[in-house]
Amino acid sequence: MTVRPILIAGDPRLTTPAVPVTDFTDELVSFVSDLFDTNTAANGAGLAANQVGDPRAVFVYDLIASGVRRRGHVINPVLETSEVPETMPDPDDDLEGCLSVPGEWFPTGRAHWAKVTGVDMAGDPVTVEATGYLARCLQHETDHLAGRLYLQRLIGRNQRAARKMIKDRQWNQPGNSWLPGSNTRPSAQV
């Protein structure tokens, strides 16, 4: 089991679009395993490669949606969604967090339905279609691979609160990370 450090908002690798995977080797299989191990150790729903400093277009997900465990990975994902609401997200039903913004949750508008197509570790086609929580996760992880944190989707007072939190925690500088399973996870307290 290899748990990798997770980059924190402010690191430029989180805002750099991922590069397509072209080499489907044993190293890729090992890397996807590391992503699952890191996600599990962090109690995450999903994890994209750039969150651990790797530029490849890969993400994993492992969550419970509607009482069913959904676990998988997608390489070179392409996202399709229903319409994204433009209204203020519900502060109770639309909360979203991120392992690269540890300890913070903000209401985030997302499409109710999403479909991701891509390939698996062997290069075979993969399609994941979902509503609700898994749809949110698919959108969140593909956003990561496009070089976008969920904080960039915030609007109004939530956007202002996120900017203040980033500044207060000095997460506007590169090089910050935390290691799941250790005491290095940044505190949720300012």
Q: Residue 184 has what pLDDT?
A: 54
Give me the CATH number covering residue 76. 3.90.45.10
Residue 44 lies in a domain: yes
Q: Residue 173 has what pLDDT?
A: 82
Residue 38 lies in a domain: yes
Residue 186 lies in a domain: no
Residue pair 119/75 in contact (Cβ under 8 Å)? The answer is yes
Instruction: For the chain, give the mean pLDDT.
Output: 93
Residue 189 lies in a domain: no
27 annotated active-site: no
Residue pair 162/171 in contact (Cβ under 8 Å)? The answer is no
| Mean pLDDT, rounded, for 46-57 | 98
The answer to whether residue 24 scores a pLDDT higher than 70 is yes
Residue 185 lies in a domain: no
Residue pair 53/118 in contact (Cβ under 8 Å)? The answer is no
State which amino acid sits at residue 138.
Answer: L
Name the β-bridge partners of 69: 64
Q: Residue 189 has what pLDDT?
A: 28
Residue 188 lies in a domain: no
Q: Residue 186 has what pLDDT?
A: 54
Token pair of 22, please? Answer: 């072209």
pLDDT-based confidence at residue 93 (cuts at 50, 70, 90): confident
Question: Residues annotated as binding site?
Answer: 98, 140, 144
The DSSP string of 3-53 is PPPEE-TT-GGGGSPPBPP---SHHHHHHHHHHHHHHHHTT-SEEEGGGGT
Residue 135 lies in a domain: yes
3-state secondary structure of 148: coil
The span from the CA of 128 to the CA of 118, in Å, is: 9
Question: Residues annotated as binding site for Fe cation?
Answer: 98, 140, 144
Q: What percent of the chain has pLDDT over 70?
A: 96
| Mean pLDDT, rounded, for 108-124 | 97
In tens, the pLDDT along 141-190 reads: 999 999 999 999 999 999 999 999 999 998 888 889 999 988 655 543 22
Catalytic residue among 27, 104, 129, 141: 141
Assign 3-class secondary structure to 72-125: EEEEEEEEEECCCCCCCCCCCCCEEEECCEEEEEEECCCCCEEEEEEECCCCCE
Reported pTM: 0.93
Residue with tokens 């690191």: 11
Token pair of 167, please? Answer: 């500044």
3-state secondary structure of 183: coil
The number of distinct structural domains making up the chain is 1
Domain that holds residue 96: 6-178
Residue 187 lies in a domain: no
Greatest CA separation found in the chain? 46
Query: Looking at 84-93, 111-120, 149-158, which range is the least confident one?
Result: 84-93
Residue with tokens 């489907």: 24
The span from the CA of 117 to the CA of 99, in Å, is: 23
